[in-house]
């Protein structure tokens, strides 16, 4: 079982893995360079978990100060809150993890293009009950897996595989849609993977298989910096022993990046 493995040995995802993230097949240092030079964001290199905990506390204190000011002076202009977002690579792993929403495909595409590498996005949309896994390679979208109850992105018949399974819910069908330009997956293989873990949260069986194919890993929350938000999680040495390197980018609350050249479909 994966829970008996060290993080350095893990691939794929557990049923309680992060709901959203971006994975970049590159060292943290390379991602750092793009974040600074292309996205023009400040980056703090070689950080410890204590650095992140302190920065997160400082941001929330500023949120509270802003709230107090707005209560007394609602028309006063306030500067944006600066949020520190960690990104890291585990020891013996190939992928740097950015714990973003997984919907920032313009960021993922830019990283794939500028670093000449593969970038994975994963997004679990709880409100719409669908999940989306994409792989960008250089300047192309090369793989797309969409699964859940409300998969609104049909693209007509532009899928290699399309499966409907009504056993999940008698009122609606749970769908699996898959397309790849870089590997062959049969309907039987996809079906066998999701049936093997059908009762997992979010039915992530085939997602787990996809991640293992790319030798990537989506971690559990307790394996991430977010586990250390509360005062009770103070074993910082445990986290620092898991990672090869962690940097932190500083994102203003009003920051956005848009690139409309993102490939919409697998070609």
Length of the chain as a residue count: 267
pLDDT the model gives residue 1: 42
DSSP designation for 258: -
Question: Is pLDDT at 263 greater than 80 in this prediction?
Answer: yes
Percentage of the chain modeled with pLDDT above 90: 61
Alpha-carbon separation of residue 250 from 1, 35, 39, 207 (angstroms): 37, 10, 11, 30
Q: What is the mean pLDDT of residues 233-261?
A: 86
pLDDT the model gives residue 258: 81
* pLDDT tens-digit map of 70-124: 888 888 888 999 999 999 999 999 999 999 987 889 999 999 999 999 999 999 8
What stretches of the chain adopt beta strand conformation (E)? Answer: 12-13, 20-24, 42-44, 82-90, 96-98, 118-125, 130-137, 140-148, 161-165, 174-180, 217-218, 243-252
Arithmetic mean of pLDDT over the chain: 88
Tokens 């890993």 belong to 217
- Closest by CA to 133, choosing from 119, 148, 122, is 122
């Amino acid at each position: 079982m994966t829970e008996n493995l060290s993080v350095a040995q893990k691939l794929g995802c557990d049923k309680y893995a992060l709901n959203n993230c971006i994975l970049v097949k590159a060292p943290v240092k390379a991602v750092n360079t793009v974040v600074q030079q292309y996205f023009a964001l400040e980056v703090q290199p070689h950080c410890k978990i204590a650095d992140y905990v302190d920065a997160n506390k400082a941001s929330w204190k500023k949120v509270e100060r802003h709230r107090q000011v707005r209560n007394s002076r609602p028309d006063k202009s306030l500067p944006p809150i600066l949020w520190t977002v960690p990104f890291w690579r585990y020891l013996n792993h190939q992928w740097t993890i950015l714990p973003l929403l997984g919907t920032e495909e313009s960021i993922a595409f830019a990283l794939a293009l500028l670093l000449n590498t593969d970038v994975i996005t994963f997004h679990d949309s709880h409100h719409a009950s669908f999940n989306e896994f994409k792989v960008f390679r250089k300047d192309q979208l090369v793989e797309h897996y969409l699964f859940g109850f409300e998969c609104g992105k049909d693209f007509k018949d532009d899928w290699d595989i399309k499966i409907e399974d009504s056993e999940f819910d008698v009122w609606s069908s749970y769908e699996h849609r898959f397309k790849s330009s870089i590997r062959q997956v049969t309907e039987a293989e996809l079906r066998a993977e999701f049936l093997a873990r059908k009762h997992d949260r979010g039915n992530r069986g085939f997602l787990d298989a996809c991640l293992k194919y790319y030798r990537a890993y989506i971690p559990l929350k307790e394996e991430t910096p977010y586990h250390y938000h509360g005062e009770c999680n103070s074993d910082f040495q445990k986290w620092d022993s898991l990672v090869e390197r962690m940097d932190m980018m500083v994102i203003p609350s009003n920051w956005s990046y848009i690139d409309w050249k993102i490939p919409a479909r697998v070609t």
